[in-house]
Amino acid sequence: MIVLVDVGNTRIKLGWIRVQTGGRERTALTLAHGDVGLISAWIKELDPTPTCAVGVNVAGATMASTIDAVFQRDFKFKVRWVCGQPEMAGVRNAYNKPDQLGADRWASMIGLAPYARSGPVMLASFGTATTVDTLAPDGDEGLTFHGGLIFPGPALMRSSLVAGTANLPAADGPTAPYPTHTHQAITSGIAAAQAGAVLRQWREGFERFGRAPRVFSSGGGWPIVEAEAQRLLYRAQGDLGLPKEEIRWVATPVLDGLARVAVEGRGVHVT
């Protein structure tokens, strides 16, 4: 058994994979950064006892060292931290400097690989930052990550308005085409900005690949954006005479990618 570790900007997610079977956890464990000490108790409940760990970390070197110390103390091994590379697990990285690609984005693209065998796909991940990335077949029986966008996530957009203005509130509530009060104007503006970026990349993908990418979503900020993003995508699909296709939710794309990395070269099929 191999432990999978996704250290994000505000949360840690943990999963596992059984190498012989490709079996995975049913539900990932989610912890706040301050709850690193709970990792050991969770691992000790696993059967069989894990022999190694694979992870990504975007929360800085101190957090990586703290987690490594827990694993080293209680299980006698450290986490193998994955970073952006030119190629891994059948996915090529089009970044001009592959090691500058965020490890979480790279792992997510590897995790999305099974969906991209038949055509281009996009992953819009709504966390502290929002990222919108595209993966597509490259004509050589492989897949290529083509790059993507990074911008403030929904919660960060909201908090920046509160921090940077004198009179705007920490707004919450439903969106509207023509907002008629400040809370509605802010929530609609945030959703429109997030959804508009997704639609922009969808149109770029349609132009580049000659077919519309399938869109996947993840991240805790998705409920804020979901209705607006789906509404705009349905409208664009209708304008182009394309069948309506829903945005599909993926719960743990980073862990999915780490699972594939963990068994790379072992001939195990990961679902």
Percentage with pLDDT > 90 across the chain: 88
Position of tokens 């596992």?
16
List pLDDT tens digits, range 149-185.
999 999 999 999 999 998 888 878 788 899 999 989 9
State the CB neighbour count (10 A cutoff) for residue 100: 9
Q: What is the dihedral of CA 109, 113, 117, 120, to 10 degrees?
A: -20
Q: What is the CATH number of the domain that holds 162?
A: 3.30.420.40
For residues 55 and 130, state if they share a domain: no
- pTM, 2 dp: 0.93
List pLDDT tens digits, range 188-231.
999 999 999 999 999 999 999 999 999 999 999 999 999 999 99
| 184, 214, 245 from 224: Cα distances, Å | 12, 20, 20
Residue 50 lies in a domain: yes
For residues 77 and 125, state if they share a domain: no
Banded model confidence at residue 29, pLDDT cuts 50, 70, 90: very high
User: Shortest CA distance to 154 belongs to which of 171, 167, 169, 138?
Assistant: 171
Domain boundary among 32, 64, 81: 81
The catalytically annotated residue of 104, 138, 239, 256 is 104
Residue 102 lies in a domain: no
Residue 210 lies in a domain: yes
Tell me what pLDDT residue 267 has: 38
Tell me what pLDDT residue 170 has: 85
CB-based contacts of 148: which residues, under 8 Å, 6+ apart? 105, 122, 131, 132, 133, 134, 201
For residues 20 and 129, state if they share a domain: no
State the CB neighbour count (10 A cutoff) for residue 8: 22
Residue 53 lies in a domain: yes
Tokens standing for 152?
Answer: 């403030």
List pLDDT tens digits, range 52-103.
999 999 999 999 999 999 999 999 999 999 999 999 999 999 999 999 999 9
Give 141-146 contacts, CB < 8 A, sequence gap 24+: 142/90, 142/91, 142/92, 143/90, 143/91, 143/92, 143/113, 143/116, 143/117, 144/91, 144/92, 144/93, 144/94, 145/91, 145/92, 145/93, 145/94, 145/95, 145/101, 145/106, 145/109, 146/94, 146/208
State the CB neighbour count (10 A cutoff) for residue 40: 13
For residues 146 and 247, state if they share a domain: yes
Q: Structural domain of residue 15, as residue ranges?
A: 2-81
Q: Is 24 helix (H, G, I), strand (E, B) or coil?
A: strand
Give yes or no for a contact between 101 and 84, defined as CB atoms under 8 angstroms apart.
yes
Residue 261 lies in a domain: no
- In angstroms, rounded to a whole number, what is the distance separating the alpha carbons of residues 119 and 139? 11
Half-sphere exposure (Cβ direction) of 197: Cα atoms closer than 13 Å:
25
User: Shortest CA distance to 123 belongs to which of 24, 36, 252, 18?
Assistant: 252
Q: Is 104 helix (H, G, I), strand (E, B) or coil?
A: helix
Chain CA centroid to CA 65, Å: 23
- In angstroms, rounded to a whole number, what is the distance separating the alpha carbons of residues 177 and 198? 18
Q: What is the dihedral of CA 184, 187, 190, 191, to 10 degrees?
A: -100
**Mean confidence (pLDDT) of the chain:** 94
- In angstroms, rounded to a whole number, what is the distance separating the alpha carbons of residues 193 and 188? 9
Tell me what pLDDT residue 147 has: 97
For residues 75 and 125, state if they share a domain: no
Domain boundary among 81, 106, 134: 81
Residue 51 lies in a domain: yes
For residues 124 and 243, state if they share a domain: yes
Mean pLDDT of 45-55: 94
Residue 271 lies in a domain: no
The count of domains in the chain is 2
Annotation marks residue 6 as catalytic: no
Nearest 5°: the CA angle 188, 126, 183 is: 20
Residue 245 lies in a domain: yes
For residues 160 and 243, state if they share a domain: yes
Above 90 in pLDDT, residue 148? yes
Tell me what pLDDT residue 265 has: 42
For residues 160 and 247, state if they share a domain: yes
